[in-house]
Amino acid sequence: MYLGDEMHKAKAMTWYRIAQIGNLGLLLLWHFVHLIVNLWYFALGLGQTLESYLISRGLLKRYNSLDSNRVRYLAVVMDSKEAGQTSEVIKLLQHLEDIGIKHVCLYDPEGLLKKSKEAILEKLTYVKLYEEATKSDSLVRKDITLEFASFSDGKKAVLKAANYLFKKNYLCEEQKEFVCTESHIDEALKAIGCARPDPDLLLVYGPARCHLGFPAWRLRYTEIVHMGPLKSMKFGSLIKAIYNFTKVHQNYGT
Amino acid sequence: MLSLSAQLPLTPSLRPDNPTHNPKLNSKPTHLRISTKDPIFTHHQDEFHIAGKKYPGAGDLPEDEKMSLPAGLRREWMPEHVAVIMDGNRRWARMRGLPSGSGYEAGIRAFRVLVELCRNCGIRVLTVFAFSSDNWLRPKMEVDLLLNLFETSIKAEVDNFMRKDIKVSIIGDPSKLPMSLQHLIERLEETTKHNCGLHLLVAVNYSGKYDIVQACQTIAQKAKDGLIEPEDINELYVEQELKTNCAEYPYPDLLIRTSEAETLWWIQTIKYYRTLYGHCS
């Protein structure tokens, strides 16, 4: 019986050692899998940097036939941290000018870009503010129209439009039955000077893929692309984002 | 909707001196299997696996399992409101050589799994965009199929919603929907209005512009009727009148748009491994 107990103990110990070795093996396998995944991400990042370099040098032929006219209106959203980097914003706008984008809206929730408007316009040639461009007919072929927007241009604009409609339709002498439609809101926004085109493409610079309160009324069919932090913005990645947009087939719900 | 399984070399039951043993974990070793098959439908349609834990897809959950989270997720980090745009059904069917109807049916099955997952993770509000106002432009046969499917699904799920304490609200313009569907929606909302669990918002014939327009119309009418002063109208009033304001947490923390399932699955698998490893280490 004593011998039986001893054998049983030895057997249990052996199984325990085998299990420990097995555990170690599985742990190593797990770390190996993680290493592969990390290497994959590293290679992906390296590949993206290289691709961006090749695109910006014009070495990848397919990006040379970029039709920038397909992007009728481009919006760039950045969080407040990114918006404070005025030099990077200017660089971005210069890149967009080189690509041939004609109409750009710059948005940040707190309106920091509006405050840096003068500093930005100073550094750029062939740029006109959207308000000036729509008033005058003297838009030079090379001109880019630039719009600055912030959080207050979203909800507040719709509120003003609603107030305008209320005064026009409910406080006037002839009160008819009024059924509000989308086109009424569009007209009201135009009447109060808040009508702006809907962007085809929205580039988000910041840590999160979030439009940060960009006027929702204008985002119905907008394609949203997250570009990462503004400081790692590259000319090649801009071209790629715009090129991919031009190749996309939109169903618009149909 | 992902169903993932991966190998974790943890066998707490065989390590006598494991200081990190969590008594809440299953006492059996957790095993994760890398799956290369279709992530949604290779398992029984009523269950799914995440981080080695099995979640029933339908049927009653035992009380102690109801709110447990997969390893690596913490309650305080979970979003309160998740919105999902259920796109890509037709693409999914086309990739498999199936008719569009099969894609929509598969979408409904995935939707049931999604609801269960949200319940299990303690998410308070789930919004699903089932039918946009732009979708009326699709072929009539397809639209009729979609609406019939929607009607059939509601009838099939009412008992399930009651059993699982799910409150259902349908947001959107109901006027263009068939009368039978409108009545069914009214009954569903009435039946589930006292439920206190997951609040499920289903957007049917909905668009953001429609919601803003109807909010403005309602406020203007209230001002005309003297219920509110025009000077008092502010952004808060507009927010309160939006259809999406019916939920306790009206603003989505996370918006997911499903599409291109094949490539997305692979990328998400890699991201999932990174997150899981980050937590374990």
* Site of tokens 């494991």: B18
| The overall pTM is greater than 0.80 | no
The catalytic position among B87, B144, B159, B173 is: B87
- Phi then psi dihedrals of residue B225, to 5 deg: -80, 0
Collect all residues with Cβ–Cβ distance below 8 Å to A43 and sequence separation of at least 6.
none
Is some CB atom of chain B closer than 8 A to the CB atom of A5?
no
Instruction: Find which of B34, B90, B217 to mutate to test the A interface (most A CBs within 10 Å of its CB).
Output: B217
Give the tokens for residue A249. 């087939």
Q: List the Cα angle B201/B206/B209 in 5-degree steps.
A: 120
Does B87 qualify as catalytic in the annotation? yes
Band of residue A172 on the pLDDT scale cut at 50, 70, 90: low
Which of A26, A167, A185 has its CB closest to that of B212?
A185
Phi/psi region, residue B52 (left: phi>0; alpha: psi -120 to 50; beta: rest), is: left
Cβ distance of B216 and A161 shorter than 8 Å: yes
B167-176: pLDDT as tens digits: 999 999 999 9
Mean of pLDDT over chain A: 87
Q: Is the pLDDT of residue B181 over 90?
A: yes
Higher model confidence: residue A35 or residue B270?
A35
Q: How far apart are the first and last CA of chain B?
A: 26
Q: Which of B250, B194, B1 is nearest to B116 (CA)?
A: B1
Collect all residues of chain A within an 8 Å Cβ-Cβ radius of residue B239: 155
Q: Which of B115, B124, B39, B119 is nearest to B80 (CA)?
A: B124
Collect all residues of chain B within an 8 Å Cβ-Cβ radius of residue A208: none
Cβ distance of B209 and A41 shorter than 8 Å: no
Please give the CATH topology (third level) of the domain spanning A68-246.
Answer: Undecaprenyl pyrophosphate synthetase (3.40.1180)
Cβ distance of B9 and A25 shorter than 8 Å: yes
Question: Which of A162-171, B67-76, B138-147, B188-197 comes out lowest in average pLDDT?
Answer: B67-76
d(CA B208, CA A190): 19
From chain A residues 12-51, the ones with a CB under 8 A of any chain B CB are 16, 19, 22-23, 25-27, 29-30, 33-34, 37-38, 40-41
A179-233: pLDDT as tens digits: 888 999 999 999 988 889 999 999 999 988 899 999 989 998 899 999 999 988 8
Closest Cα of chain B to A121: distance in Å?
Answer: 32
Higher model confidence: residue B166 or residue B54?
B166
Residues of B with CB under 8 A from a CB of A: 6-9, 11, 14-15, 132-135, 137-138, 207-210, 212-214, 216-217, 219-220, 223-224, 230, 233-235, 238-239, 270, 273-274, 277
Higher model confidence: residue A92 or residue A57?
A92
Domain boundaries, chain A: 1-65, 68-246
pLDDT score, position B19: 37
Residue of B nearest to A23 (CA): B9
User: Across residues A45-65, what is the average pLDDT?
Assistant: 84
Collect all residues with Cβ–Cβ distance below 8 Å to B53 and sequence separation of at least 6.
B26, B30, B68, B70, B71
Which of A19, A26, A170 has its CB closest to that of B223?
A170
Q: Which of B45, B158, B164 is nearest to B110 (CA)?
A: B45
B7-44: pLDDT as tens digits: 333 333 333 333 333 333 333 333 333 333 333 333 33
Q: Is the pLDDT of residue A134 over 90?
A: no
List Cα–Cα distances, A241 to A85, A202, A203, A225, in angstroms: 21, 10, 8, 7
Q: Where are the beta strands (DSSP E) in chain A?
A: 74-78, 103-107, 127-129, 144-149, 201-205, 223-228
Band of residue A138 on the pLDDT scale cut at 50, 70, 90: low
Is some CB atom of chain B closer than 8 A to the CB atom of A65?
no
Mean of pLDDT over chain B: 74
Which of A23, A38, A166 has its CB closest to that of B11?
A23
Cβ distance of A37 and B274 shorter than 8 Å: yes
pLDDT score, position A113: 93
Do the Cβ atoms of B14 and A16 come closer than 8 Å? yes
From chain A residues 146-165, the ones with a CB under 8 A of any chain B CB are 155-156, 158-159, 161-163, 165
Cβ distance of B238 and A161 shorter than 8 Å: no
Do the Cβ atoms of A160 and A215 come closer than 8 Å? no
Do the Cβ atoms of B178 and B144 come closer than 8 Å? no
ipTM value of the model? 0.73
Q: What is the largest CA-CA distance in chain B?
A: 75
A83-132: pLDDT as tens digits: 999 999 999 999 999 999 999 999 999 999 999 999 998 888 788 888 77
Q: Is the pLDDT of residue B72 over 90?
A: no
Collect all residues with Cβ–Cβ distance below 8 Å to B265 and sequence separation of at least 6.
B2, B39
DSSP-assigned states of every residue in B60-81: PPPHHHHTPPPTT--GGGS-SE
Band of residue A58 on the pLDDT scale cut at 50, 70, 90: confident
Band of residue A61 on the pLDDT scale cut at 50, 70, 90: confident
Closest Cα of chain B to A207: distance in Å?
Answer: 14
Cβ distance of B220 and A16 shorter than 8 Å: no
Burial group, residue B28, by CB count within 10 angstroms (0-12, 13-18, 19+): exposed
Fill in the amino acid letter for A63: Y
pLDDT score, position B271: 52
d(CA A98, CA A252): 30
Closest Cα of chain A to B176: distance in Å?
Answer: 15
Q: Which of A215, A210, A214 is nearest to A227 (CA)?
A: A210
Is some CB atom of chain B closer than 8 A to the CB atom of A170?
yes
Q: Which of A18, A161, A233 is nearest to B14 (CA)?
A: A18
Do the Cβ atoms of A170 and B216 come closer than 8 Å? no
Do the Cβ atoms of A215 and A149 come closer than 8 Å? yes
Which of B137, B209, B223 has its CB closest to that of A253?
B137
d(CA A19, CA A31): 18
Collect all residues of chain B within an 8 Å Cβ-Cβ radius of residue A179: 217
DSSP-assigned states of every residue in B17-28: T-TT--TTS-SS
- Phi then psi dihedrals of residue B129, to 5 deg: -95, 100
Q: Is the pLDDT of residue B69 over 80?
A: no
Count of C-beta atoms within a 10 Å radius of residue A1: 5
Q: What is the DSSP letter of A132?
A: H
- Phi then psi dihedrals of residue A57, to 5 deg: -85, -5
d(CA B239, CA A211): 18
Count of C-beta atoms within a 10 Å radius of residue A207: 12
Query: pLDDT above 90 covers what percent of chain A?
Result: 44
Which of B207, B209, B277 has its CB closest to that of A34?
B277
Residue of A nearest to B34 (CA): A33
Query: pLDDT above 70 covers what percent of chain B?
Result: 67
